[in-house]
Structure 1
Amino acid sequence: MRTLQVTSAIAAVCSVLMWCFLLMQPVLPVSASAAVDAGFVVFVGGMLIGHLAAFVGLVASASLGPRPAWRHRILAGSHALTIILSGAVVLWAFVFPQSGWELLALPCGVMIGQLPAVCVLAAGMVSRRAGPSHVQDRLVG
């Protein structure tokens, strides 16, 4: 269970970094060469690390038992979605060989597949942060 949570956090961070870079690119005034270099590091590094974390998380989710908690099912599903989306892109590139540019869609597997994991992990952080202060207020008042 701990492995699933850690790999989900790693893949989710990779996804969030790629989304932030993609959404901030039109806003920030950066030279083209610096943007290409930074984009290569963010997207290729995030894709490789995100896919590795998703694969390890998917393998770790096999040991959760017959009835895991709903959060763990969503985390496992997001890892499966990441692998399926990326596998579809690779299959498309090999079955219908065009130019190789379709492989630029590989980071989209991590970016889209890890969105449910980002939501679950963010909700867990918010509920964990709100929990102890709410208990202290009840004990004092």
Structure 2
Amino acid sequence: MLVTASVVSVLCFVSVWLFVTPQLVSSGVIEPGPFFELMVVLPMPIGLGAALVGAATGVIVLVRRTAQVRVPPLLMTLGQLTTVVLAVAIVLWALEFGSTGWELTALPVSLMLGQVLVALGLATDVVRRRRRVREQGALGG
């Protein structure tokens, strides 16, 4: 469940970065364009929901494996927790401090930052699984 939620949230993270990066590189300003809703607005609630599921699942996985904590689940859990904490902080900032509500436009930042750790955890997990398969193939053949 942790890996599945992490894959979904990272795909949403990639979508947001694919929209934002070219604009930041070319002009330094992010402006809504024709794909803004599809690449940023739609992936945000999906990614945050997946991050919430991933954070809860990751905590359970880490608590159950207290004797042997592996790096990939730890990275994925920390990334999901970071995403959720940043999102909650942005929402509280927008609602509690006499603001205009425009602060909610910073909500994609929680996904953009927190999911970096999740992506590293997924990549580490894939590398470890491939090594394990190669070692088993070498021993069996």
Q: TM-score range by the shorter chain?
A: 0.7 to 0.9
- How many residues were matched structurally? 133
- The residue aligned with 1:44 is 41
Q: Give CA deviations for 1:54-99 in whole Å, capped at 9, x if unaligned.
A: 1111221232215132221211111110110001100100112322
- The residue aligned with 2:19 is 21
In percent, how many aligned pairs have the same letter? Answer: 29
After superposition, where does 1:44-83 map in structure 2 within 5 Å? 44-64=41-61, 65-67=64-66, 68-83=69-84
Gaps of 5+ in 1: none
Distance 1:84 1:124 in 2: 24
Residue range with higher mean Cα deviation, 95-104 or 124-133:
124-133
Give the aligned residue type for 1:94.
L
Distance 2:128 2:59 in 1: 26
Q: Give CA deviations for 1:81-137 in whole Å, capped at 9, x if unaligned.
A: 011000110010011232221110001111101100111212333444466567767
Q: Summarize the Cα distance change of 1:113–1:27 in structure 2 as closer, same or farther, 3 Å threshold.
A: closer
Matched, 1:89 2:90: yes
Q: Is the 8 A contact 2:75 2:120 kept in 1?
A: no
TM-score (norm 2): 0.79
Q: Is the 8 A contact 2:95 2:101 kept in 1?
A: no
Distance 1:82 1:100 in 2: 20
Give the aligned residue type for 1:102.
E
Distance 2:4 2:124 in 1: 16
TM-score (norm 1): 0.79
Give the aligned residue type for 2:13.
S
Q: Summarize the Cα distance change of 1:133–1:59 in structure 2 as closer, same or farther, 3 Å threshold.
A: closer
Distance 1:8 1:114 in 2: 8
Distance 2:60 2:132 in 1: 29
- The residue aligned with 2:5 is 7
